[in-house]
Each structure stands twice: as structure tokens, then as C-alpha cells.
Amino acid sequence: MNRADAADDGGDRRSGITLRELEVLHALIRTGTAMNAARSLGISQSAVSRRLAQLEDRLGLALFTRAGGRLVATPEAFAINEQLGPVFATLGRIVNHAREPRTAHRGTLSIVAPPTIAHRFLPGRIAAFRKRNPELHISLEVIASDSLITGIAECRFDVGLTDTQPAHDGITSEPLIATQAICILPGAHHLADRDVIRPEHLEGEAFVALSRRHSSRVAIDRTFERAGVRRHIAIETATSVSAMEFVRDGLGVSLVNPFPIVHQIGRGVAVRPFLPEIAYTTSFLLPSSRAPTAAAVDFIAATRASLDRTAYPTAP
């Protein structure tokens, strides 16, 4: 019987439990709150809640109750967590072994990313990885996130990096960093004196919008719709880099993901926090139909190790 047939016959839900779901359970019990668990795992609080709900659904158990605004673990949750200790200890040994010096990789590694990440974040990290693996052939493809997702699911690339969160059975997602939207303004803009920008401050302001195919456009539009604020969209563009340049030229203000451009903005552009929070999670994407190559695993680990998270406004 294949997987589809098993699902149709009401197969065991527990067979779909993921390591990330178990990590969320372990982190919740260890840290005591969803916010702290999210920070320890480097993911958003909403992702913690989602993974917990998935685990409870797969197990058919309530693992936490709420009391006074806090999550309280049930006896079932504690019992499962006790069994996870040896699992995570084994994983720790594997990770430590993976960090030990090893023979350089050979063969190929195909990486794919949308333009802003490909141009502003990956080149130096790919160069450093290639120098450590001189016999490894690396290719970097720069394409839009929707095409990236299809390419990963079809195994045309080994690893992708994007802030688009795919709902695709053919993809495994490994979070890199959770951030929240920033408002960028021309340096001399009258709103640059404010400590925080809110939707009502942008009523009638010229606005540089990301194109509608961009993953965050819907969330940004809904934020202003809920606030009853109408912007004057002066120009639409496909990348955060081009939005930043249009802002620098005085065409309007914009909301963008600070990763990876916030520390590369330069003169002529003011950066301010924006509320309410619009969250982003930038993740590595891998094909779920095959195990990742050793080179892909090492590249992900090296990229994570190189990232200075303190440089970015992160989501709670």
C-alpha cells in the first residue's frame, strides 16, 4: 500500500511526526513560554504554536493547557519529553562530529535564491565555502521565489534560501532567521523624526510597494486595510533592493524585510521600526523526496554559523 492509500484508509497520524515538532515540545518545556521557545529555536512564535498544534493533532493528545496566560505542560508532555533526552543527546553528538575537520567535498552543489538574498547575502558565504572545498563545483541560480519553490520540489536544486514559506509536500524547510518589517524613508522625510512608524502615519503618503507576486505583499496590504489607511502607491517593484533605491531617490516610503539589506542601506535612507509587527522567516528549502547531500548540509551549517543575528530587527 502506498502513502496515499494509507492516508485514505486513515493511516497512523504519528508516522508524520517531524523532528522540528519534537524540538518545539522540548523547547517549550525547557524554556516555559512560546516566546522563549521561539527565540531558542530561531523561529517565530506563530511557528511554535503551529508546530505544537500539528504535534498534538498527530498524537491525538493535549500536551499543554493555558493557565494565567502561560502554557502548562500536561503529564503526557512530560512523559514524551523524558524520552526525547537521549534523542537530542544523540543529535548533539552527530552535530559535533559534523563540525570536526573532514575531507573537502567533491561533486556539485546547486544553490538557488531570489535576487536580494542572492546578491546581498550569499556571494561571500559561497566564496568562503568554495575555498574550503576547492574540488566542489557550485552553481548559484537567481530566480523568483515561486519558481525557486517548484525547482526545489522537483529536485532541480540542492538547497534554496528564501523568505517565502511554501506549503508544499515536496519541500522541507529549515529556518535561518525570523525578522520583522522595517519602514524605510528618505533621509529628510518628515516622518524620520518618529521613533516608530504606524499605518496611520502613512495615510496618503507616497509608497513604494513590492510587486503583488512578492510573498509579503498580501500581509502588508492587509495591515493597512485593517487600519483603514489608504496609501498612494507611487511605484511597484520586485525586490527590496530596488525599493530601497527608489526610497533613496525620494519616490516614497516602503516596508521591507530587514534581512539581508538593513546593514547595507547606506546614506540617504532612514530606517525605523514598524508596528504592528509583520513577521518574516527566512529559511533554507530542501527537497523532501531525497536526503540532502553532505555538501548541502555543511553549507547550511556554515551559513548559519556566519550569520550575525544581532544585525537584524528580529521577531519576538
Look at 3-12, 97-106, 179-188 and tell me which has the smallest mean pLDDT: 3-12
Q: Is the confidence at residue 97, as pLDDT, over 70?
A: no
pLDDT band at 96 (very low <50, low <70, confident <90, very high): low
pLDDT (0 to 100) of residue 5: 41
pLDDT (0 to 100) of residue 251: 96
pLDDT (0 to 100) of residue 100: 54
Give me the mean pLDDT over the 63-77 stretch. 80
Can you give the pTM of this predicted structure? 0.65
Closest CA to 311 of 182, 221, 205, 187: 182
Are 280 and 315 a contacting pair, CB within 8 Å? yes
Closest CA to 254 of 198, 163, 179, 182: 182
Give me the mean pLDDT over the 76-96 stretch. 77
Instruction: Tell me the pairing of strands 107-113 and 136-142.
Output: parallel
Q: Is the confidence at residue 226, as pLDDT, over 70?
A: yes
Are 286 and 296 a contacting pair, CB within 8 Å? yes
Strands (E), the chain: 64-67, 70-73, 107-113, 136-142, 159-162, 171-180, 182-186, 206-210, 232-237, 254-256, 269-273, 279-287
Residues 276-299 have pLDDT tens digits of 999 999 999 999 999 999 999 999
Whole-angstrom distance, CA of residue 142 vs CA of residue 118: 6
Give me the mean pLDDT over the 170-179 stretch. 91
Alpha helices, DSSP H, located in 60-188? 75-99, 115-120, 122-132, 145-153
The residue assigned the cell 517593484 is: 237
Q: Which domains does the chain have, with CATH numbers?
A: 3-99 (1.10.10.10), 107-176+281-311 (3.40.190.10), 182-276 (3.40.190.290)
Whole-angstrom distance, CA of residue 233 vs CA of residue 211: 11
Whole-angstrom distance, CA of residue 47 vs CA of residue 173: 12
pLDDT (0 to 100) of residue 17: 84
Residues 260-271 have pLDDT tens digits of 998 889 899 999
Q: End-to-end CA distance of the chain: give it in Å, rounded.
A: 44
Whole-angstrom distance, CA of residue 116 vs CA of residue 257: 10
Helix (H) or strand (E) holding 134: none
Whole-angstrom distance, CA of residue 257 vs CA of residue 165: 14
pLDDT (0 to 100) of residue 101: 54
